[in-house]
Structure 1
Amino acid sequence: MHPILKPALRRGWRDLNTVQCGVTPAHARLLGPVDTATGSFLSLLDGTRGLPLLREEGKRMGLPDGHVDALLRRLAHAGLLDDATGGGPAADALRARADTMDRLRPDLAALSAVTPHPDDGIRKLAARRATRVRVQGTGRVGALVASVLSGAGVGQVDVMDGGCVEPWDVAPGGLPADSVGQRRDAAARRAVRQAAPGRPPRHPEARTTGERPLSLVLITPRDGLDAYAPAPSTAEPLVAAGTPHLYAGVIEGTGVVGPLVLPGVSACAGCLALEATDRDAAWPRMLAQWHSGHRRQVPACDLALATAVAGLAAAHALAFLDGAEPAAAGVRWLAATPRFAWRAQRLTAHSDCSCGAGEQVKGEHTSVDREPHETMTGVTA
């Protein structure tokens, strides 16, 4: 082990005996009491020394026997310590690719700041490299989501879409202007490759199956209605296969992220449809009218809002892939222009849905958020 104080957490002395590691309340920790010699020793925890050398340095600085090991245990228990050489073979392979590692250092620092154990950050970053996700829909939201996931170290990002790139599909970080007229899926794949920090290692299962297992699908339709009111039939194969999937899009002036569907566990598109019909008997009729006919106009999709939606969707996707508590499961995040204030809409698995997630709520199904029907503004002609 080569201990290093987590570099993402800025350090400062609150007083003569107390060190604060971290700035924000979510991540800051106080270390004390710290005497002068121990404070000087902290500067040696930079990842360049192993435990034997650190113990020798501690003796030279006058620290008592056992003090260095006790201090390191305290720091590790507080989640303030990293291991510059830990993480196992996958982490070693990642460190060996200097160009790739340099691209991913900010992501490693961020993972390190929010994970407790000394090698958690590098393990999670290396694990991303063996992960496969699919992004369905490559408009202003989907293409950017795919590029962000690829740039953050996800090893394989597949994209699915039809048709050709239109001028209004172009967005910074997503589909470039010179891709107009090209096939959307091909243009998005190029954007994904260009965003990738390096060629990922081949997954062991890919040697026999031809591809890695699918960990997550992001459904990011160019028509935001399909994210706000997703068709159950679209997700049926994913639910049947047990594949987690996350919705994201922009409808009119509202950004939508979620829900993250954990098949059989949290609310799915079928649950949302049944819940909407329970709230409003006219919902199926309205939805059929919104989907009918040929839409000639370009759908509203504010560029800044689409970028925010893509970023939040990618963040939730990465947190899920990294093994964090799935905060978007059973929740849909909504933000509307011009205030852009994100709010969470809680979603309940429906007891009548065939996905099975609502079995535990049979007989006690209730509506939590009666949006949008009861919050519409009346208009007098």
Structure 2
Amino acid sequence: MKFHRFAAIGCLAVALPVAAQEFTIKVAHFLPPAAPAQVRVLQPWCDALKKDSGSRIACQIYPAMQLGGTPAQLVDQVRNGVADVVWTAPGYSTGRFPLIEAFELPFMISDASSGSRAAWKFYQQHAQQEFSAFKMLALHVDGGQAVHTAKKEVKSVADWKGQKLRSSTRLGAKTLIALGATPVAMPPAQVTEAISKGVVDGAMGAWEVVLPTKLDEVAKLHSQPPTGQPYPSTTVLMLLMNKQKFDGMPADLKAIIDRHSGAELVERFGRVWDEEATNSRKKVLASGGQIIDFTPAEMAAMRSATASVDEDWIRQVTEKGHDGKRLAAAARTLATGQ
């Protein structure tokens, strides 16, 4: 009798289907939850993964460094498994990803869409090795950084001199120094308060962050290149996944992540950043802010003043065993579409 009862239980266990394994992905970034990065890119990306996987992939998003640490530590957080996916800037980890820095050289990027496509191609052709410890989901640019100041317009090379401005990257800081300004490093969330207290005179920043960080409330003067011309500085950004987390997923779920990442996600980032830039400019003007375009003559003067930044970067990268001159030329060729 006992044998028959155990046999029946065994048969029942074999007959039951094995439940499909579910995966929760912890996604961390450094901006507020209302920022376009989360609302228009990360959340739709997570929604698409959930839908296509039949809810086997779910996301938990942690904005504004809710997992602790600083933006510069996000790379280590994803590598060590504190987070499964992070959206951050390679430039926040100074010296760690030297090759992709080519896209942060001065006057490289004129918009987010074309710039992001170019940066993704550069990554695929020249910089994959320095991200080998991670699963790269997307790499894009912020579309270029305008100058946002509280009191003094920046229209000419002379206007940069003496200005204390927030900078997001190493090359951005070098660009400011070459123009005569003083760079100050701080997370985006601290910039508005720093300007209001007079700690800095303004910031170099992409239009996309102006409204989420309320930068427009303290900086009413905004300077930028004419439409279609490259910005003095830019920030490369990336969506990285913990490699072990990805490798541990079933093949069908990996395929879903790959299908919604890469070039398709790069396009979304670029499109959203350009749309948000247009929206930010409109709202800045509507609220009484001023937007000043650099003249062609001043653009030429600024490019001449920052030529040393290219030269230093080429020398430093070459000293590390890479062909710095070739990499800088490749970046500029891709960025201009030639």
- Please give the TM-score of this superposition, normalised by the length of structure 2: 0.28
Larger Rg: 1
